[in-house]
Amino acid sequence: METTDKLDNISLCEPRVDDCQLWDVFLGIYGYSALLIAHRMKLFAILAKKPHTLEEICSILDIKSRPAEALLVAAVNLGFLRIKDGKYLLMPVAEEYLLENSPNYFGYYWDIIIDNHEVYSFASLEKAICTDTAQAYGGGDVFKSHEENNESALKFTRAMHSVSMGSAQAWPKFINLSKYRLLLDVGGGSGAHSIGAVSKWSKLQATIFDLAPVCTIAQEFIDKYALHERINTYAGDMWNDAFPSADLHFYSNIYHDWTPEKCLFLTEKSFKSLEQGGRIIVHELLYNDKKNGPFSAVGCSMLMLGWAEGKQYSGKELSKMMQKVGFKDIQVIPTFGYFSIVTGVK
């Protein structure tokens, strides 16, 4: 429609649809911010000790009633809190994932989001889109930074452990691993998925294959779960170093960091490394086959623009990669929340 400054040229035209979608997109950023601020202010930990009224929360957090009410109502609306007899209580999702003493604590992932908040700004995402380059850590190579900076490696590995433990305990229930002896957890980070797999399958051992600084951190998690007799680490670079012997290769949230060409390289490397009957499992948050949703995959692809060179894939795309290099009996299996596994056999 041609624009004009002449008011007498404008005709009224009632909208064919309402504008709720526009408001939902715009206002969604405030729900995101509200929950992260509540987490940073330790609101969930406070309410875990005992329910509180609005006035009590104002006093504990040392904030005024107006912002406190806005924060609390946002948390209620998003399903993390509820109100009973004028007091705010935690919902099960907050108890399960937002309390530090929970084995499924998600908060370390939120911490790294807060600490790198500039990556999620309009300016940063616009630059990522216009230049097709990651913006995290000042635009440097994220994984090289972890190799050179132990503190960055620790924070990132802890964050990925935080976001992984729920799904790590779920996917091993959806596939029979009784015939396999050794899982190679490629780019395994903290070893969350190794921990989940060996805890479910009593005859299974696991090796976490990652960069040397990450292996040191992983050992702390292995010791924490008292699994040092069943899980070990192997320092290496998945692009340049040979994989140690294993009959099961596992990748979680690895493929989405890389281009299709690099994902195909890893798929083929696993195929060549595995013996006949060996299995590959790729654990990812998948697009549907039409690649128009779900929104979780859409959002994660936007997330990848800021952090890496990859994107989310569909089960169909990952299946084609496996088929191309020679894997058979390929399956796409939904497992936990938004996650699925794609698996094939040599």
The catalytic site residues sit at 256
Helix (H, G, I), strand (E, B) or coil at 302: helix
CA neighbours closer than 13 Å in the CB half-sphere of residue 314: 11
Concatenate the DSSP letters of all residues of 54-99 into one string: HHHHHHHHT--HHHHHHHHHHHHHTTSEEEETTEEEE-HHHHHHSS
Task: List Cα–Cα distances, 331 to 49, 246, 274, 316, in angstroms.
Answer: 45, 21, 18, 10
Helix (H, G, I), strand (E, B) or coil at 341: strand
b/e code 185-208 from CB counts within 10 Å (16+ = b)? bbbbbbbbbbbbbbebbeebbbbb
Residue indicated by tokens 């600490």: 115
The answer to whether the beta carbons of residues 149 and 172 sit under 8 Å apart is no
Rounded CA-CA distance 155/217 in Å is: 10
Rounded CA-CA distance 81/341 in Å is: 32
Residue type, 269: K
Task: List Cα–Cα distances, 108 to 100, 275, 304, in angstroms.
Answer: 9, 38, 18
Environment class of 62 (CB within 10 Å of its CB; exposed 0-12, middle 13-18, buried 19+): exposed
